[in-house]
Amino acid sequence: MELTLIRHLPTDWNEKGVLQGNRDIPILEISDENKQTIEKNKQQLRHEYSLVLTSELIRTQHTARAYGYNRFEIEPLLNELDFGEFEGKEKQKLIDTHKENWFTNPREITLGESIANLETRVITFIEKYKDYDSLLVFGHGSWIRACLSYYRFGNINRMNHLEIKNNQLLTIEVGEEELQIGRHHI
């Protein structure tokens, strides 16, 4: 399976450096720079995907439409991490509060949801869609970082060492061998 991931376009809260989590924040008016990135990214996209997915949050749906995808399915497993009391606050406050585990063992942190639950959602997503030839996912920073950490390292403990920018595109090849070893290593 080919899994193509695009982080949503910037929102006002992204520009301010505050965490959005489950808050349903719309994207900003698309800048010329982001329009150019969309066009560049479109050149890397397949002509057709088995399935195009977004989270339940409008910023991913707006991004899918900005890429010209008006038909997509909404998948709750793709929702952003629930940051609880840190939503609407600067990310640095979260890091300062959980500095012991944020970069080394985020699975031990519980916010509005546990980060271990985020890992479970990533694994459940992979299992649910593993038989599709190609997926295009419009998602969120934490979810994509968790997925990428799981892909590269077999768990999400390094997710906070990774940076995924707004409007960034990544493609991961999910091989049959990885699916069969039981590790769920995409």
pTM: 0.93
pLDDT digit string (tens) for 14-50? 999 999 999 999 999 999 999 999 999 999 998 899 9
- Judge whether 185 lies within some domain: no
- Judge whether 96 lies within some domain: yes
pLDDT score for 176: 56
Domain count along the chain:
1
Residue 41 belongs to domain with CATH number: 3.40.50.1240
Comparing C-alpha atoms, which of 46, 61, 54 is closest to residue 144?
A: 54
How many Å apart are CA 69 and CA 98, to the nearest integer?
A: 38
In contact, 96 and 153? CB cutoff 8 Å: no
- Judge whether 100 lies within some domain: yes
- Judge whether 142 lies within some domain: yes
Q: How many CA atoms lie within 13 A of 149 on its CB side?
A: 25
Structural domain boundaries, residue 131: 2-180
pLDDT digit string (tens) for 100-113? 899 999 999 999 99
- Judge whether 81 lies within some domain: yes
- Judge whether 186 lies within some domain: no
Amino acid type, 160: N
How many Å apart are CA 53 and CA 138, to the nearest integer?
A: 6
